[in-house]
Amino acid sequence: MAQSNVKINSKNVKYNIQDYIESVDKQNKLYRKTLIIIIISQIFGGAGLSAGVTVGALLAQDMIGSDSLAGLPTALFTLGSAAAAFIVGRLSQRLGRRVGLTAGFFAGGVGAIGVIIAAILDQLPLLFISLFIYGAGTATNLQARYAGTDLAGPTQRAKAISMAMVFTTFGAVAGPNLIDVMSKFAESIGVPPLAGPFMLASAAFLLAGTVLLIMLRPDPFIIAKGIAEAQQNRPGHAGQGQAAPQITAANKRGIVIGATVMVLTQIVMVAIMTMTPVHMKSHGHGLGEVGIVIGIHVAAMYLPSLITGVLVDKLGRTTMSYMAGLTLLAAGLLSALAPADSMLLLTLALALLGLGWNFGLISGTAQIVDATTPSTRAKTQGSVDVLIAIAGASGGAMSGAIVAHSSYTTLSLLGGILSLLLIPIIVWERSKRQPR
């Protein structure tokens, strides 16, 4: 077998890629080990991302004194997420998942600390800058789902994505339900109550980064690149001796469809989710009730992942993308029609919102992985996640303005209608494909 040109001789990395290239058993063991490490980091990362989702808008509302800019925090940390997705993707492509993901989580932890300081000092500029940096943790938590697919086979990819996502649920659900506890703790030490959840976020993101820094060795992406290169140079291979294959026209179509699915589902989910806490608070619901609704919403975003992964692998990426559009439509309609004082209907609406997002993210992510090779995969994934983050930022920014100038009902109806665009867009794009 041809020797791989990829060598790891650093004193800090004590493994030989060739050993993994020559042993399928070692590849499988590393695949399983990687999933376990990603799962551990996702538990912490999930707790970190839920703070901004749950109380970011409320904190800004208190400091600004206006509902019209309540969507700005989501827009800021989502824009920060976009910048981080690009950087983490490039770092992962060049240096491996361990370096890229660790850097992203550490940045998110620093941003959360900045939010706490801004709340104490009542400094809006610092709050906005810190929320932007905090977004790095959100982007990294999302990008970690790709690490589980690096050594997965084509029929394992959606399940690998779902394994990474489902364990985010434990932290992501615990976070909103610890709002009261963290708020009271913050108040007891002289910190504004709404900054309390960001204390949890800072510790969670830093722990997630530490887990990856210490445990993610060997790096699955570096191994995957070595395996792909060895296969490319194998005698008799059609591309022997050539440079690593770039993205083809057919693959670009797959990337376009996967990105479109994730972008539209992100816009709808973020827009409705962002303004739900503000809508509930303005109608007399307390922080505890807000935490329950958002906690169930986040659970629906991640907990069904194992079943979704199996369905995506069995029924196909396209079928589950259609299901994402229909589920988000149901969520938008129920959010619009539910009485503001009905905890049950609001909870159900937000649960459907999370489930539709789950369908869209896993089916879209699987299409992106299918359409890329290790030579371009991480940076392509990072670029797609930039689009997702920008979409979320747009949804968050527009949501506050729509509610301020119209109503939460209008916002929910618009979100439901927008989600339906998934179906004609996918049908149109698929009709453009040339027959094999």
| DSSP assignment of 361-374 | HHHHHHHHHHT--T
Residue 434 reports pLDDT greater than 60:
no
pLDDT at 11 over 50: no
Average pLDDT over the chain reads: 84
Question: Does 241 have pLDDT greater than 70?
Answer: no
314-352, pLDDT tens digit by residue? 888 889 999 999 999 999 999 999 888 888 999 999 999
- CA 56 from centre of chain: 17
Residue 402 token pair:
């729509």
Question: For residue 436, what pLDDT band results from cuts at 50, 70 and 90?
Answer: very low
Q: Is residue 268 very low, low, confident or very high in pLDDT (cuts 50, 70, 90)? A: very high
335 vs 349: CA distance, rounded Å: 5
CA 56, CA 50: separation in Å to the nearest integer? 9
Residue 14 clears pLDDT 80, i.e. is over it: no
d(CA 346, CA 7): 54
Position 313 pLDDT exceeds 50: yes
Say whether pLDDT at 285 is over 60. yes
Which of 264-273, 277-286, 424-433 has the highest mean predicted lDDT (pLDDT)? 264-273
Cα angle 307, 313, 314; round to 5? 85
More confident residue, 190 or 167: 190
CATH topology of domain 17-431: Growth Hormone; Chain: A; (1.20.1250)
Average pLDDT on 227-256 reads 64
Strand (E) or helix (H) holding 91 = helix 72-95
Whether residue 117 has pLDDT greater than 80: yes
Domain definitions of the chain by residue range: 17-431
- Residue in the block written with tokens 């979704």: 308
pLDDT, average across residues 64-93: 80
- pLDDT-based confidence at residue 235 (cuts at 50, 70, 90): low
**Collapsing DSSP states into helix, strand and coil, what is residue 3?**
coil
Query: Would you say the C-alpha torsion 404, 405, 409, 414 has a positive or negative sign?
Result: negative
Residues in the chain: 436
The Cα–Cα gap between 322 and 327 comes to: 9
Residue holding tokens 């920008």?
390
